[in-house]
Amino acid sequence: MPVFYGEELGSALMLGTAGYPSPAVLERAFRASGAGVATVSLRREAGGGQDFWALVQGLGVRLLPNTAGCHGAREAVTTAQMAREVFGTDWIKLEVIGHADTLQPDVFGLVEAARILCAEGFRVFPYCTEDLIVCERLLEAGCEVLMPWGAPIGSGIGLNNPFGLRALRAAFPGVPMVVDAGIGLPSHAAAAMEMGYDAVLVNSAVARAGDPAAMAGAMADAVQAGRAAYLADPMERTDMAVASTPVLGRAFL
Amino acid sequence: MRIVVNGVPREVVATTLAGVLEEIGIVGRFATAVNGAFVPAAGRGMALSEGDAVEALAPMQGG
């Protein structure tokens, strides 16, 4: 099971809390997922914040607050500081958004914010791209986990750049990594785990499914299968057929 | 004193951050920032000035 900042989780599935049809559906999805981490956020109190706090307390999972919607390092740092106090954790999913349509991270602001937050004792989970050099800079800044995107947030596209994700996994073999964003189907989650990623973070694929609890269960199964396959050391792929039935002893007819 | 709380302009009597939060009725679990800088719960005795922008943020759903 994945270990982040010295803490072992009970599941390689991390689940978001946004966009469910109702709090009851959210709760059922979490139970079905067996997820060990729930992502949460901070917003101006407009009623509901205290009820939501009670709900997530009852889930019995580790909370990972995010800085979603922040468009600059300074804003993200302040949001992280506020989240640490509200949620009582130094874990932070650091998002510094750079592009309105793709929600692509502003990797320059991300590295800047990560450096400040790591120095302040935060355990930073940076939402990043699969760029090797950006990830190297994040590690230098003090991050001990990387969270490359699969595809744009909420798109359900899956793993948009499997080559890049595979290269990133190979470049930093000892670093825990989570594929975050873009997962739409259990097969996408399984593919990430088969590559050797330590966990996946899913939200919209579950929340926007017709039956969120059933999809949460399917995601949990996929993550388990993908991890087991990775540990089983998959066969190498070839472009030509390799006969599986022995040729020796074949009848002459 | 005229300040802005969570984006809404307000006329308040209280002069400290803690006083303003109480006056407006913000309770429960939340965190505060003034003019873009985090103010920890222990620092809410700080005095506010005319035109200050206060943010009080509560737990919310997130991905």
Alpha-carbon distance A194 to A121, whole Å?
A: 32
Catalytic residues of A: 93
- Where along chain B do its domains lie? 2-57
Assigned fold of B2-57 = Ubiquitin-like (UB roll) (3.10.20)
What is the average pLDDT across A21-35? 96
pTM, two decimals, is 0.92
How close does chain A come to B5, measured CA to CA in Å?
A: 10
The pLDDT > 90 percentage for chain A reads 90
pLDDT, greater one: A251 or A16: A16
What are the tokens at A125?
A: 């989970």
- All residue ranges of chain B with pLDDT < 50 are none
Alpha-carbon distance B63 to B61, whole Å?
A: 7
Alpha-carbon distance A181 to A200, whole Å?
A: 9
DSSP, residue by residue, A89-111: -SEEEE--B--TTT--B-HHHHH
Please identify which residue in the block is written with the tokens 């984006």: B7
pLDDT at A100: 87
CB-based contacts of B27: which residues, under 8 Å, 6+ apart?
A: none
Alpha-carbon distance A111 to A18, whole Å?
A: 26
Which chain B residue has the Cα nearest residue A76?
A: B36
Interchain CB distance below 8 Å, A53 and B28: yes
Which chain B residue has the Cα nearest residue A53?
A: B59
Query: In the structure, what pLDDT confidence band is assigned to residue A250 with cuts at 50, 70 and 90?
Result: confident
pLDDT at B36: 94
CB neighbourhood size of A75 (10 A): 18
Q: What is the ipTM of this complex?
A: 0.95
Give which of A105, A27, A210 is closest to B61, Cα–Cα: A27
Which of A75, A86, A154 minimises the CB distance to B29?
Answer: A86
